[in-house]
Amino acid sequence: MELANIDKTIIAKAQQWLGEDYDEETRKHVKQLMDEHPDELFDSFYTDLEFGTGGLRGIMGVGTNRMNKYTVGMATQGLANYLHLMFPALPQIKVAIAYDSRNNSKYFAQITAKILSANHCKVFLFEELRPTPELSFAIRHLGCQSGIVITASHNPKEYNGYKVYWEDGGQLVSPNDTNVIEEVRKITAIDMVKFNAKPENISLIGNNVDNAYLAEVKKLSFIPELIHKNKDISIVYTALHGTGITLVPKALKEYGFENIHLVEEQAIPDGNFPTIISPNPEEKAALAMAIDKAELINADLVLATDPDADRVGVAIKNDAGEFMLLNGNQTASLLIFYLMTQWKNKGKLHGKEYIVKTIVTSELLADIAKKFGVEYFDVLTGFKYIAEVIKKYEGRKTFIGGGEESYGYLVSDFVRDKDAVISCCMIAEAAVYAKEQGITLYKLLLEIYKEFGLYYESLLSITKKGKSGADEIKQMMENFRTNPPKTIDNSKVIVVKDYKLQKNINMLNNTVSPIDLPKSDVLQFFTEDGSKITIRPSGTEPKIKFYFGIKSALKTAAEFEKTENRCKEKIEAIKTDLAL
């Protein structure tokens, strides 16, 4: 692409960034793009980085479609304006800010703090990197009206993000999400942003909040005496160069685990993630070094957290003594089953308890809840919707736990986002529980499958980068929406759920009923043989995601591998039928 072929309005947007409102380094970089890299200039300015319902996430660099000082600044000014609209009677609005190990995270956090301080807000800024769940905790602990964490979770190293929380400690939900977006859109020029900090409004926080948070985490333990008995259970932990290193080892030690082995090469926070291709605990390659170490020392359990330590990957030993990775649904099922068992054993189930899962998470969680007589709720993808349910029933019902297939889980409600620190402790505790029953976590999982059925799920993510990719994803969704398949792998599609149109369509009798959830660009197809296929564009990455879920009976543990392979073959057949 040549500069002459780029739309003039895009060129005009770029030229504005050559003005005096922008610093010299930014102006120099924009000029270089105009002179030498017109393709990159186009991608950097063809649109504005959207402040979505959760905040910002994008590639770092100059331009309106990038994460930088100015896009972060405009988002923060819009948020500050909204906070003053919502809390006019408060003598001073309070906001907590945390950041992860990514490149520029600390810088963006400091920019955010300066702008909020200039807008007469009291800012509590973590002095060093900290996990996202601690930010959620800090909001309530410090009596804040909002919170911000600078992170792009498990995205590639080129990305960063800006995630906004409300006074309940959960991410923004309706109507605050759309209202904040409106205020951010009103910031149309950089001179509307108050960059001149008022240092007296900024306080650094650290160990005091850590200690308060860890004290609450420790209270969750059901079996401290059994952990003490099994304190030498061997755990390998990797932080994947992220924030988990600040709290996960401490939390495990607080629980009583004494035999913790760090993957030292990945214990150093580093936004370039030098030892891994992607800092995503969903991916086998990310846990390779941890598993190698676990095999070397004959460990019992492997735990890995993503850069902002809200998600956890787990590896356990199978009957052959080989480490196998659990997927997010398997970990969630083990956790929920363990929590339910302990609540029942301790006589804490009184009929007002509940769990929450997302619509793409395994139906096995719902079956487990039914067995224990515990209510369950389905919500849209995104942990903010789990937090919304917790807020709705606060004081009336008791939240036991919840999770989503993308490796995020929460136990108790003093945090209002997925929490890998708590999850690591609870997974390790569940391993101790299984050991006391004379089995492993692997055998406990098989016992669950034997009782409820082998639920097998798989995820396919297709990446489509740039504007053309975004257009292609949009067209794929439109095609599935307007021309839904009549059969999938030779099984009739009997129900179509369209969450964008909020319609539940019975394909057998052509009746339509409403879906009582917020609008979301998600489609689900349910087939006659019990399969569930969910399609949704990612809200944070240039991807379209396909979730596959099927169920098969498992009579004996010996048949697990054979049954699982049949499930895999069925999912491959479904992919072929959908031309994926």
In the beta sheet, which residues pair with residue 410? 402
> Alpha carbon of 301 to those of 261, 288, 325, 554: distances in Å?
10, 14, 10, 25
* First and final C-alpha spacing in the chain: 30
- Enter the tokens of residue 349: 């189930």
What is the spatial distance between Cα 288 and Cα 292, in angstroms, rounded to a whole number?
6
Q: Are 449 and 329 in contact (CB under 8 A)?
A: no
- Enter the tokens of residue 25: 């380094």
Q: Are 241 and 270 in contact (CB under 8 A)?
A: yes
Q: Please, which residues have CB within 8 angstroms of residue 88's CB and are 6 or more apart in sequence?
A: none
The three-class DSSP label of residue 343 is: helix
Residue whose token pair is 């609870």: 426
Query: Which one-letter amino acid corresponds to residue 216?
Result: E
What is the spatial distance between Cα 375 and Cα 366, in angstroms, rounded to a whole number?
8
**Number of Cβ atoms within 10 Å of the Cβ of 244:** 33
State the catalytic residues: 153
Residue whose token pair is 């994460």: 67
Q: Which of 136, 131, 213 is nearest to 168 (CA)?
A: 136
- Enter the tokens of residue 475: 């067209």
